[in-house]
Structure 1
Amino acid sequence: MRHWRRIAVTLLPLLFALLHVSGVLHLQVLERLESIIYDTRLRATMPGTMDTRITIVDIDERSLERIGQWPWGRDRMARFATELLDRQQVAVLGFDVVFAEPDGSSGLASLQRLAQGPLAASPGFSEQLARLTPELDYDARFAQALQGRPVVLGYYFTSDRDGQARGVLPTPALSRDRLRGKPLRATSWQGHGSNIEVLAKAAPAAGFFNSITDSDGVVRSLPLLAEYQGQYYESLALAMLRVATGYSDLSPLYDAFSEFDHDVLSGVILAKGQSRLLLPVDPNLATLIPYRGPGDVSGGSYRYISASDVLEGRLPEASLKGQLVLVGSTAPGLVDLRVTPVGRTYPGVEAHANLLSAFLDGANVLQPNFAPDFDVLQLVVTGLLLALSLPLLTAGRAVLLSAGVLAGLVGLNLWLYQVQGLVMPLATVLVMALSAFTLNMVYGYFVESRTKRELAALFGTYVPPELVEEMLKEPERYSMDAANQELTVMFCDMRGFTALSEHMEPLQLQAMLNGVFSRLTHIIRSRRQGTIDKYMGDCVMAFWGAPVATPGHAELAVAAALEMTQAVALLNEEHHRQGLPQIGVGIGLNTGTMCVGDMGSDIRRSYTVIGDAVNLGSRLEGLSKTYGVTMVVSDTTRALAPGFIWQELDRVRVKGKAQAVTIYTPVGTEAEPLAPERQQRLATWQQLLAAYRAQEWDACTLLLRNLHAAEPGNILYSLYAGRVEALRVLPFQPDWDGATQFDTK
């Protein structure tokens, strides 16, 4: 690929982004940016209208001034509840406060202690106390006002170290026997602060009012269900919804994905007869709060009424008829103000009102279980699109493409949020896209303009000029850096060089040797696209596949070796006419993973290959004389060169390599089929190898006799004949794999 280096640079932001979303690399700045984007999107899309179905009765500063400090006596709370439930005729009354302690303000407890102590002998005192008890038992009066009415009490869970539990919890919304045996992944708590028993019995519906505070201190979501001692309890907003709508049954809707030790829900289902209502939840059984406006009395989302006006009967009769009423506080001293995306001092009670409003409208928003997978998908698609496209474009078109991609990402995110109610991640993909664009532009400006000159300077010393010209067409693909690649290496050694040196003058020998090397080099480099590594005396070392990538490097190397053999045969004809000794070549070929690059010392360096695969190629060249063939090829090279006809020679273990290697020699090409007699000899030879490895020596002798008759003087057949005679006297070896060990180089 022409622009692979530039593509790789452009893909770097994608790599870091994927590491971040997978949790391997924690980039807090991206998490903070995601929160900023969510808050901005929320504020930009808030309806800013008032929900007339819900009213907040506010224990505000004016109420504390007129009525007194909180908590108020339960006698006042009884009048408060009666006013709302009877005179104002509200549909549901929910308390975002908890009544965790008995009310002792009437002095009833002190009078009862007197009646049981110093005044126990005074029957008149006991009788008067009995008559006054209904009036002085403020808790009972408040409980009576709530008894059998559409009231939802509030309470809270806590995770303090001691796990203290006060008050009476309501019946769990989901008990253990409603689940599949595994716990749900939810917020979990060790303690609670709930209402006193008399009130809990009078108003059995109750919901917790805990919120979830994110790491930046902002409240963006509320748990719909929370776990305590293996049971699951409902939130205040969910409890009020169930009381208001009559959806008494609650059941879990399991997600298709299930963790190892937890079940995951995609929602909860409320049922009333045949009617069903689905409330989606995130993996932690929470839901994001769809804030309607900036909050508080001036926010305009809900009607606020001072609690003092309710207690003092200032409201016209039935002015709250059919309303869902939440009792909470905006007074700073009562510490129920929260930091939210839409306000720094947001009333906690209004957060529950927002959630209840969304339940009624079916307008919940949440981040679904598959949000991380969606993030990975959009990162991969966006990253690959930019990486593969930007290097091909001019600067102006690259800007347009990047701007279009960013606009598309933002548009898709907004559509999913507003139309589908899905909160999908956006920050990481935006930063990744901007970073990819910036890196691509910087690379193109600072690096690519100098690449051709640097490449010519680097490689011009080490590789042929024609390869440098080819590389300059796509300079970004090449580097002098060492790298592991699958290549094919050749070692070609001249035979008979010593005899030539004895019959020729040094200058004549030099000229002849240069002529041979020139012919072989031309075949390797010009005709078969190979790279000459080095000349070592009368040996040539070359490789295929680098620096110019060559998919068919093994096939090219074999073709080069065959052509070199033919060139040596023609050269020998010339020697014959000149009365010079004949020369031969031994060639070893191997394909494998090699380290290729600029290597050496500060004084001298070369572009070369090293590694175990290179060493094996050298060993194979040395075996060519042993097996009486011109070329010995490894099984990896043979497998990658399908256009040739092969004769298997042996299985060998060469020095420095414990694993046996099957070696071959080419005997022709598939384009020119062998003569029938030659095909028959190859088939007979393959039968011989099978018998040899099965240690069937008599069969080997018979097959070798037939082969010798067809080709007398064949070194390979003589080699195996000697082996068979030597092995015949040995006992059968069950673990023998037929491989021959070579301990010399």
Structure 2
Amino acid sequence: MNHYLIRSLLGMAVLVVLLMYSLGFFQSRFIQQLEAISYDYRLRLTAPGTVDRNIVIVNIDEKSLAAEGRWPWPRNKLAQLVHQLNDTYHVAVIGFDIVFAEADESSGITVLSALARGPLSDDAPFRAHFAALAPRLNYDNLFAQQLKVSPSVLGYYFTTVQKAGKTSESGQLPPPTFLKAAFSGRHIDFVSANSYGANLAVLQNSAQAAGYFSFIPDVDGILRRVPMLIEYHGAYYGSLALAVADAYLGSVPITPGFPTADNNADGYNALEWLQLGNRKIPVDRHVSALVPYRGPAGSFQYVSAVDVLNGRLPPGELFGKVVLVGTTAPGLLDLRSTPVGTEYPGVEVQANLVAGILDGTIKQEPAYVTGAAVALLGVIGLLLILVLPVLSPLWTLLLTLVTAAAALGINLAAWQYGNLVLPLAPVLLLIVTLFVLDMSYGFFVEARNKRQLSGRFGQYVPPDLVREMVKHPQRFTMQGESREMTVMFADVRDFTRASEGLEPTQLTALMNEYLTAMTQVIQKHQGTIDKYMGDAIMAFWGAPLTDTQHCRKALMAATEMQEQLTTLWPHFKARDWPEIRIGIGLNTGVMSVGNMGSTFRIAYTVMGDAVNIASRLEGLTRQYGVKIIVGEETYKQLPDIAFRELDVVRVKGRESPLAIYEPLGLRSEIDPQQLDELARFEQVLGHYREQLWDQAKAGLDWLQQLHPEQRLYALYRERIDYFSQHPPGSEWDGVFNFQTKK
């Protein structure tokens, strides 16, 4: 199985796991926590950070407690507060983030009433005075009277966590927002309560409305959303923010919002919003609304309750505004942990919700975002899975960064302009995981294989070919295969005689320098060193990577090796080393290449008849007195090279004859005199093969006058002289038979 497939399968496994999470097949606290963190960052990044002047918090703060006494205050003082807000400052709505669950007896009316009914029942003056004074001492009634004539909304709470053996119901609940069976047949996952703490009946009956201020933090303790409806005993009650916003809008009808009108038990029946007049309040599957925090605590105007009581505010300061009465005093324990602050006043959470309802800034998180998340995961996942395995580390990093930036951009655009909360953690987790997986696999698996490959071939294959093999390992194989290649044998002539008199260390140094220089030339022309055989070098072209120019590169290497050798002679002479000479044989043909050997030792090498011929050709260089001999197939594939045909021979171990050639250089660079000499020798060969000995001798005489030292001409002179005395006969084919390997 190749690396691309393995990496793709690993990536697909990651994608499937995250798709299953997104579709709800399992839960992951880790991913949920990442999503919560990403939500908080997005919220803080896009929060307006300005103060909303339309909603004011009348704060029962430390200043007020110091001036008016500890909490709870007598209800007559609260009645005075409501009176000031309504009659003096003309606010639009007064919402209480406080519950008044117990009767106020701070006036002493209970004691006086008991005296009037008991020991002083016969004291007519006392009873008359008490009857006149009682209405002013009934602080709850005073408070209720002010609530009745004011746009007031009371708060209460539900308990949603069941405690063993502990349930309580105190005070009077307001009428439910939706009656029992209002959502019959629809599978909606409402938050359910098991007990409540509400206001005194006299207060509840006097207020315009009421709503619960219960909060349910997420699993990490951070308050990000608030239920808009809570189910209790089959009926559905609205939140304080919902009740305050409704009162501000004139008590408009509240209706549930469904994407489909039909109640289909098998279809999509989610409650996606609450309709408040012409305003939509987006809710999630638990009918909770995300709190649209404007920023840290202080995003709304705070005024001290004692300043309201004493009329210290400018007359128009609160005109027509929504007022929420609550507390930020630390001792009253109404501080919450939120995405924008760890000690955030609960009353300001309500203010953010009211503002979000009225301004339409509550983010949407409907059930259908699951489909969008799955689609985005699929597109990004498939893109990275298919593309990352074929990229370099740099391009992998760049694509990962671009993809992550695109995912973030899409998510933030949906958040900011579509008011839509799309899951972000699974997408970023997918991108990061695929990147880490790809880089890790590349480093620990592919890099190891590449290091092994580089180590295996680095000494024999040119560095640029090794880099190409490492980059594209699929383009070569070490398994045995047949392909057309060119093979070279290079051997030092008369090495035994040349090395006589050298110390072992000198001989080693000489061979190291010689082999190093020759290897550099071979690798320069992208040849692969097969092996060193004493003073001989075997190399080939066309493997491990396929090369259509193997003939040309092999010949260029052979020519340069001869040139390089002459540059070594002065150095050899300076060290009293012999001026060694080499013969080179090149042959092209189909041969087997691959890992060959035994279980004890294996090597990447070539074998075949074409290889054996190259070895024979190297041996023939001594016979013909030339530096390089190439085979017939090499000659045919290089038409732009000028060759001198040396002979047609039958080498040992091979029955069929073989034409052999000496390369002279590019045809375009051969001078006219050399071309004339080449043509004369071709005539000699023609006369020789036609057994026209006199004509052949005449041609050789002319050539030998030009080059009396030329071994090739002397060789043919010897043959012609012999055949002149011993004619070969009419069946002679002009082929010379060699009975030895060299």
Structure 1 distance, partners of 2:139, 2:380, is: 66
1:90 aligns with 2:96: no
Structure 1 distance, partners of 2:450, 2:407, is: 37
User: What amino acid maps onto 1:209 in structure 2?
Assistant: F
Describe the SS at the equivalent of 1:192. Answer: strand
Describe the SS at the equivalent of 2:315. Answer: coil
1:270 aligns with 2:276: yes
User: Do the aligned partners of 1:11 and 1:436 also contact (CA within 8 Å) in 2?
Assistant: no
User: What amino acid maps onto 1:365 in structure 2?
Assistant: K
1:173 aligns with 2:177: yes
User: Do the aligned partners of 1:168 and 1:195 also contact (CA within 8 Å) in 2?
Assistant: yes
User: Do the aligned partners of 1:184 and 1:262 also contact (CA within 8 Å) in 2?
Assistant: no
Question: Who is 2:677 aligned against?
Answer: none
Give the superposition deviation at 1:41: 1.1
Describe the SS at the equivalent of 2:155. Answer: strand
Percent identity at matched positions? 43
Question: Who is 1:626 aligned against?
Answer: none
1:331 aligns with 2:335: no
* Alignment match of 2:446 (pick from 448, 469, 475): 448
User: Do the aligned partners of 1:247 and 1:270 also contact (CA within 8 Å) in 2?
Assistant: no
1:593-633 Cα deviation digits (max 9, x unpaired): xxxxxxxxxxxxxxxxxxxxxxxxxxxxxxxxxxxxxxxxx
User: Do the aligned partners of 1:182 and 1:262 also contact (CA within 8 Å) in 2?
Assistant: no
1:204-257 Cα deviation digits (max 9, x unpaired): 401111122011111111111111111111111111111111242111112459
Question: Who is 2:198 aligned against?
Answer: 194
Structure 1 distance, partners of 2:443, 2:283, is: 49
Structure 2 distance, partners of 1:181, 1:116, is: 57
User: Do the aligned partners of 1:185 and 1:264 also contact (CA within 8 Å) in 2?
Assistant: no
Superposed, 1:346-745 pairs within 5 Å as 346-448=344-446, 473=474
Question: Who is 1:213 aligned against?
Answer: 217
* Alignment match of 2:308 (pick from 285, 307, 310): 310
Question: Who is 1:280 aligned against?
Answer: 282
Structure 2 distance, partners of 1:109, 1:288, is: 46
Cα gap change, 1:96/1:262 in structure 2, threshold over 3 Å: closer, same or farther? farther
User: Do the aligned partners of 2:279 and 2:358 also contact (CA within 8 Å) in 1?
Assistant: no
User: Do the aligned partners of 1:288 and 1:364 also contact (CA within 8 Å) in 2?
Assistant: yes
Question: Who is 1:234 aligned against?
Answer: 238
Structure 2 distance, partners of 1:337, 1:99, is: 19
User: Do the aligned partners of 2:280 and 2:357 also contact (CA within 8 Å) in 1?
Assistant: no
Give the superposition deviation at 1:394: 2.5
User: Do the aligned partners of 2:290 and 2:362 also contact (CA within 8 Å) in 1?
Assistant: yes
1:20 aligns with 2:21: yes
User: Do the aligned partners of 1:258 and 1:264 also contact (CA within 8 Å) in 2?
Assistant: no
User: What amino acid maps onto 2:108 in structure 1?
Assistant: G
Structure 2 distance, partners of 1:230, 1:337, is: 31
Question: Who is 1:141 aligned against?
Answer: 142
User: Do the aligned partners of 1:10 and 1:437 also contact (CA within 8 Å) in 2?
Assistant: no
1:254-285 Cα deviation digits (max 9, x unpaired): 245977799530111123xxxx3222111111
User: Do the aligned partners of 1:12 and 1:436 also contact (CA within 8 Å) in 2?
Assistant: no
1:268-315 Cα deviation digits (max 9, x unpaired): 1123xxxx32221111111111111111xxx3x211101111112212
Structure 1 distance, partners of 2:268, 2:8, is: 41
Farther off after superposition, 366-375 or 285-294: 366-375
User: What amino acid maps onto 1:246 in structure 2?
Assistant: G
Question: Who is 2:125 aligned against?
Answer: 124
Q: CA RMSD for the aligned pairs?
A: 2.6
Describe the SS at the equivalent of 1:388. Answer: helix
Cα gap change, 1:450/1:475 in structure 2, threshold over 3 Å: closer, same or farther? farther
User: Do the aligned partners of 1:182 and 1:261 also contact (CA within 8 Å) in 2?
Assistant: no
Structure 1 distance, partners of 2:314, 2:179, is: 43
1:694-739 Cα deviation digits (max 9, x unpaired): xxxxxxxxxxxxxxxxxxxxxxxxxxxxxxxxxxxxxxxxxxxxxx
User: What amino acid maps onto 1:277 in structure 2?
Assistant: R
Which runs of no fewer than 5 residues in structure 2 stay unpaired? 454-471, 480-742
Give the superposition deviation at 1:28: 2.2
1:164-219 Cα deviation digits (max 9, x unpaired): 11111111111125334446321110111111011111104011111220111111
User: Do the aligned partners of 1:152 and 1:206 also contact (CA within 8 Å) in 2?
Assistant: yes
Give the superposition deviation at 1:123: 3.1
Structure 1 distance, partners of 2:188, 2:247, is: 24
Describe the SS at the equivalent of 1:53. Answer: strand
Question: Who is 1:100 aligned against?
Answer: 101
1:71 aligns with 2:72: yes
Cα gap change, 1:168/1:183 in structure 2, threshold over 3 Å: closer, same or farther? farther
Structure 1 distance, partners of 2:63, 2:245, is: 30
Question: Who is 2:564 aligned against?
Answer: none
1:432-453 Cα deviation digits (max 9, x unpaired): 1111112112223332356699
User: What amino acid maps onto 2:150 in structure 1?
Assistant: R
1:110 aligns with 2:111: yes
Give the superposition deviation at 1:13: 2.3
User: Do the aligned partners of 1:225 and 1:285 also contact (CA within 8 Å) in 2?
Assistant: yes
Structure 2 distance, partners of 1:419, 1:247, is: 30
User: Do the aligned partners of 1:185 and 1:263 also contact (CA within 8 Å) in 2?
Assistant: no
Which runs of no fewer than 5 residues in structure 1 stay unpaired? 456-470, 479-745
Question: Who is 1:563 aligned against?
Answer: none
Describe the SS at the equivalent of 1:425. Answer: coil
User: Do the aligned partners of 1:50 and 1:303 also contact (CA within 8 Å) in 2?
Assistant: yes
Structure 1 distance, partners of 2:159, 2:367, is: 26
TM-score (norm 2): 0.58
Question: Who is 2:228 aligned against?
Answer: 224
Give the superposition deviation at 1:393: 2.2
* Alignment match of 2:167 (pick from 157, 163, 168): 163
User: What amino acid maps onto 2:355 in structure 1?
Assistant: S
* Alignment match of 2:257 (pick from 253, 260, 269): 253
Farther off after superposition, 256-265 or 86-95: 256-265
Cα gap change, 1:8/1:262 in structure 2, threshold over 3 Å: closer, same or farther? closer
User: Do the aligned partners of 2:109 and 2:134 also contact (CA within 8 Å) in 1?
Assistant: yes
Structure 1 distance, partners of 2:28, 2:247, is: 44
Structure 1 distance, partners of 2:421, 2:410, is: 11
Cα gap change, 1:396/1:453 in structure 2, threshold over 3 Å: closer, same or farther? closer
Farther off after superposition, 114-123 or 384-393: 114-123
Farther off after superposition, 163-172 or 248-257: 248-257
Give the superposition deviation at 1:59: 0.4
User: What amino acid maps onto 1:368 in structure 2?
Assistant: P
1:326-376 Cα deviation digits (max 9, x unpaired): 001000111100011111110110111111111111111132212333322
User: What amino acid maps onto 1:278 in structure 2?
Assistant: K
1:546-566 Cα deviation digits (max 9, x unpaired): xxxxxxxxxxxxxxxxxxxxx
Structure 2 distance, partners of 1:151, 1:435, is: 54
1:293 aligns with 2:299: no
Question: Who is 1:641 aligned against?
Answer: none
